[in-house]
Structure 1
Amino acid sequence: MKTESKRGRPRKFDEDVTLDRIMLVFWQHGYAATSLDQIAEATGLNRPSLYAAFGSKKDMYLKVISRFADQMQAYLHEAGQSTSGLKPKLKAIMAAAIDLYCGKSSFCNAAYGCLAISTLTTEVADDPDFKTMMEHIVQRMDQGFTDLIRAETTGTVPEASVRFAAQHLSLILHGLSVRARAGESRAALQELAEVAVDRLAPEPASDSVV
């Protein structure tokens, strides 16, 4: 009686490392301009192996966008924890984002801006899945700033003002990403970010009674 052989071969690659390599290809070239041959070359995997592990090109792209969003959130949260006070926290977050956008972080060594803002925005008009992902990215960023401002102002700022400031700070990050990819210097971006924080961060209401 023959012993049934096991189908397939065990994967001999780290999926997270491979996704990060795929991420860099999309980050540099964008979704539409990225070919499967480029992804195969960057990862050292052939097309059947890529399909088996990650699905279609679209599946790969959505996976790396989601992975980037998780990593970005953790990265910016850590930056905000490095100091105290609303404005210092916001400035630390902006500085960390600028480092990433300018290729001065462990994510990427090139000034590609934000992966989502640089590449996903060009695809949303033609694909509802990409549009949904972009909406999720924006809402997540808005919520992150909202939660931080609310926590640091301890309920002394009206909710409408908290959300207004959070949305505008998200807009600043989006703009910084575009300008970084266009080649603007880190110093110029840092100055823009600091002025924006000074103007947009709401001041907690005074507890003193006159």
Structure 2
Amino acid sequence: MATRQSGPIGRPRGFDAEEALERAMLFFWEHGYEGASLAGLTEAMGISTTSMYAAFGNKEELFRKALDRYTEGPSAYLARALEEPTALGVAAAVLAGTVRTTTRPAHPHGCLGVQGALATGDSGQAVRDLLAAWRTNGCSQLRDRFQQAVDDGELPPEADPGLLARYVTTLAFGIAVQAASGIGRDDLQEMADAALRSWPLA
């Protein structure tokens, strides 16, 4: 008597999770957290709401995963900039990276980490807090790098690493907002170059 073969346990996912997450990141980047409806997200991702919840969790969890992808992808210029041999090189690389990332023709303009939750209701408080922590973490990494430059004598001893870090991050966030408003890449880079002409040197 023939035996019946058992099929695979569970249904195959049927979609590329990495590709779906990439599309979700771009959708959040363009519309912000609150502006990204579930219907819009799932349509952009090419999956059903049921599949989205099964693969990524709820909207907030999906956003957290999208922000991680943004950090490791479009925003990875920060990690590369920290490896520059001089503090001025770090600052210049951060601003140049911001200009490039926020003005790419094939991507939404602006920065997911800056504009992602500028206007949200009470339900978006956790996402606002998440993005505030994301921005603070970037500033802290710069502060530590500039402290190293002071310790190494590459920045003058009176330089304030925390102030310099806030200066660079404020410039970067301003660039992102300007880019989202339609200011062009050349104009933004010119502004970044001008802002670094007063950089302290040992």
Aligned-CA RMSD value: 2.7
Structure 2 unmatched runs, 5+: none
> What amino acid is aligned across from residue 168 of structure 1 in structure 2?
Y
CA apart distance, 1:124: 7.3
Q: Does 1:118 align with 2:118?
A: no
> What amino acid is aligned across from residue 38 of structure 1 in structure 2?
G
CA 1:169 to 1:190, structure 2 compared with 1: closer, same or farther past 3 Å?
A: same
CA apart distance, 1:7: 4.5
Partner residue, 2:14: 12
CA 1:126 to 1:55, structure 2 compared with 1: closer, same or farther past 3 Å?
A: closer
Measure the CA separation in 1 of the matches of 2:72 and 2:123. Answer: 25
CA apart distance, 1:53: 0.4
Structure of higher RCO (CA pairs closer than 8 Å, 6+ residues apart):
2
Partner residue, 1:148: 145
Measure the CA separation in 2 of the matches of 1:117 and 1:124. Answer: 17
Deviates more, 1:47-56 or 1:134-143: 134-143
- Of all paired residues, the percent bearing the same amino acid is 27
Normalised TM-score (structure 1): 0.80
Q: Does 1:203 align with 2:197?
A: no
Q: How many residues of Structure 1 are paired with residues of Structure 2 in the alignment?
A: 198
Measure the CA separation in 2 of the matches of 1:87 and 1:160. Answer: 13
Partner residue, 1:99: 100
Measure the CA separation in 2 of the matches of 1:101 and 1:35. Answer: 23
CA apart distance, 1:112: 1.7
> What amino acid is aligned across from residue 203 of structure 1 in structure 2?
L
> What amino acid is aligned across from residue 164 of structure 1 in structure 2?
L
Secondary structure of 2:109 counterpart:
coil
> What amino acid is aligned across from residue 117 of structure 1 in structure 2?
V
CA 1:195 to 1:111, structure 2 compared with 1: closer, same or farther past 3 Å?
A: farther
Partner residue, 1:182: 181
CA apart distance, 1:69: 2.6
Given candidates 128, 131, 135, the residue that maps to 2:132 is 135
Measure the CA separation in 1 of the matches of 2:38 and 2:120. Answer: 18
Q: Deviations over 1:155-196 (max 9, x none)?
A: 545587111110111111110000000001111111111222
Secondary structure of 1:64 counterpart:
helix
Structure 1 unmatched runs, 5+: 205-210
Measure the CA separation in 2 of the matches of 1:196 and 1:19. Answer: 36
